[in-house]
């Protein structure tokens, strides 16, 4: 207010409107006004930067990290690199460069680094998909109830207020927020757009956009609500049917990985162990030239462990793509199969 009063006084706004034009500003007054305008512009620019990019992350780090599953990689990737590089350097310092070839400790650090990177992403993605699935499952009932109440003669704000008292699972808090905004005088279309934005699912955005545009056009809102309810119901059913149909392929991927581990276990415990024992005995009796050379069983175990862990990781990604249509959805399978492969070779083979 002080700046506005000062500016009005300088520009002569408080003078009689019938008087002549205000006198020109002096250089010192112009410099003062420009400085204050520059300060205001700088503060606005700082506030804008704090709402996006790195500034937003520094202001609300936890909120940004859990906003999308991929965002957690901002922390997980550097942490995994620190674990791997730190373990690598410490092992080399303690045991020399030969530890890379004579021990599986480096492999353990690599597995730990990969798990640190993918497990948080898998957990957040699973939670986010569960939230979206629960919201989209409740949307058709919400739209049908609104349409029925609107047909009975209720206005949309009254219908929303009545529906807000019902139970729609994870959708209920969003409906209550929609009711509160409309009770405070926010228009139905604007409140509906905010409702769709708070849900944050593609299906909700499409349905909300359809209802809002039909409401603006002045059509029969009850029929539009029923059409939106039928559309969301069909989309949810198709998604569920797809998951059910593709579940068998996810099971095939998991079973294939299990069979691979079983074959390697049998190969190492019976065939390779027998051949290694025979090779050692042949060397002792100086018959290695006629029979065979020595078999490095630990090297074979390490090679097979690498193959099993690589197969488990990428098989999980394939399972996610086939089962849910998203590669990132396969990270949970990748993490589980990677852990199974590591435990199998470290403690049982």
pLDDT tens by residue, 219-251: 678 888 888 889 899 999 998 998 899 999 999
With bands split at pLDDT 50, 70 and 90, how would you rate the model's confidence at 13? very low
Provide CB contacts within 8 A for 59, sequence distance 6+: 50
Mean pLDDT score of the chain, rounded to an integer? Answer: 82
Q: Is the pLDDT of residue 80 over 90?
A: yes
Q: Phi and psi of 220, rounded to 5°?
A: -75, 105
Range with the lowest mean pLDDT among 19-33, 70-84, 151-165, 244-258?
Answer: 19-33
Task: Fill in the DSSP letter of residue 348.
Answer: T
Q: Is the pLDDT of residue 22 over 70?
A: no
pLDDT score of 304: 92
pLDDT digits over 184-233, tens only?
A: 888 888 888 889 888 888 888 888 888 888 877 776 788 888 888 898 99
Residue 317, pLDDT > 50, answer yes
pLDDT digits (tens, 9 = 90+) for 32-65: 777 777 777 766 666 665 566 666 666 767 777 7
Task: Grade residue 293 by pLDDT with cuts at 50, 70 and 90.
Answer: low
Token code pair at residue 344: 């199998």
pLDDT reading at 16 higher than 60: no
pLDDT of amino acid 161: 87
CA angle 233, 234, 236 (to 5 degrees): 65
Average pLDDT, stretch 94-123?
90
Per the structure block, which two tokens stand in for 208? 């909300």
For residues 298 and 109, give the distance between their C-alpha atoms in angstroms, rounded to a whole number: 18
Query: What confidence score (pLDDT) does residue 150 get?
Result: 82
| pLDDT exceeds 60 at position 308 | yes
- Give me the half-sphere count of Cα atoms (radius 13 Å) on the Cβ side of residue 207: 29
Q: Give residue for tokens 């993605």.
A: 125
pLDDT at 27 over 70: no
Q: Contact 116/82 with Cβ under 8 angstroms? A: no
Q: Is 229 exposed, middle or buried (0-12, 13-18, 19+ CB in 10 A)?
A: buried
pLDDT of residue 149: 86
Q: What is the mean pLDDT of residues 153-174?
A: 86
pLDDT higher than 70, residue 174? yes
Cβ neighbors of 312 (< 8 A, separation 6 or more) are: 257, 334, 337, 338, 340, 341
Nearest-CA neighbor of 54 among 64, 45, 44?
64
134 with 174: CB under 8 angstroms? no
Give kind and range of the element (H or E) at residue 311.
Answer: helix 297-324
Q: What pLDDT band is residue 282 in, cutting at 50, 70 and 90? A: low
Tokens found for residue 156: 């949309």
pLDDT of 273 above 90? no
Residues contacting 3, CB < 8 A, separation 6+: 36, 40
pLDDT at 339 over 50: yes
Arithmetic mean of pLDDT, 265-274? 83
Quote the pLDDT of residue 261: 92
CB 71 within 8 A of CB 64: yes
Percent of the chain residues topping a pLDDT of 90: 34
Q: What is the pLDDT of residue 247?
A: 92
Would you state the torsion angle of the CA atoms of residues 98, 100, 105, 107, taken in this order, to the nearest 10 degrees?
A: -170
Q: What is the DSSP letter of 187?
A: -
Q: Is residue 38 packed enough to be buried (19+ CB in 10 Å), middle (13-18) or exposed (0-12)?
A: exposed
């Amino acid at each position: 207010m002080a700046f506005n009063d000062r500016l009005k006084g300088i520009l002569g706004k408080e003078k009689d409107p019938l008087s002549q034009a205000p006198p020109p500003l002096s250089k010192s007054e112009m410099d003062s006004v420009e400085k204050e305008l520059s300060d205001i512009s700088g503060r606005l620019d700082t506030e804008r930067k704090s709402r996006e990019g790195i500034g937003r992350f520094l202001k609300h780090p936890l909120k940004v990290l859990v906003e999308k599953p991929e965002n957690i990689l901002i922390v997980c990737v550097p942490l995994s690199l620190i674990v791997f590089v730190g373990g690598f350097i410490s092992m080399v310092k303690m045991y020399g460069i030969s530890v890379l070839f004579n021990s599986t400790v480096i492999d353990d650090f690599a597995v730990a680094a990969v798990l640190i990177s993918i497990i948080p992403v898998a957990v957040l993605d699973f939670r986010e998909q569960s939230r979206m699935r629960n919201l989209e499952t409740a949307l058709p009932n919400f739209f049908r109830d609104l349409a029925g109440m609107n047909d009975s003669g209720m206005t949309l704000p009254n219908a929303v207020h009545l529906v807000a008292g019902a139970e729609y699972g994870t959708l209920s808090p969003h409906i209550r927020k929609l009711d509160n905004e409309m009770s405070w005088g926010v228009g139905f279309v604007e409140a509906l757009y905010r409702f769709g934005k708070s849900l944050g699912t593609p299906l909700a955005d499409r349905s909300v956009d359809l209802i809002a545009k039909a409401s603006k056009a002045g059509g029969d809102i009850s029929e539009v609500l029923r059409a939106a309810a039928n559309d969301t119901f069909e989309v949810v059913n198709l998604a569920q049917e797809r998951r059910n149909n593709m579940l068998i392929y996810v099971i095939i991927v998991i079973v294939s990985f299990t069979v691979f581990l079983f074959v390697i276990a049998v190969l190492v415990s019976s065939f390779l162990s027998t051949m290694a024992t025979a090779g050692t005995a042949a060397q002792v009796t100086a018959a290695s030239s006629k029979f065979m050379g020595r078999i490095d069983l630990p090297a074979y175990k390490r090679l097979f462990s690498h193959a099993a862990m690589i197969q488990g990781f990428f098989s999980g990604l394939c399972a996610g793509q086939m089962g849910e249509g998203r590669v990132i959805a396969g990270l949970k399978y990748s993490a589980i199969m990677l852990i199974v492969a590591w435990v199998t070779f470290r403690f049982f083979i």
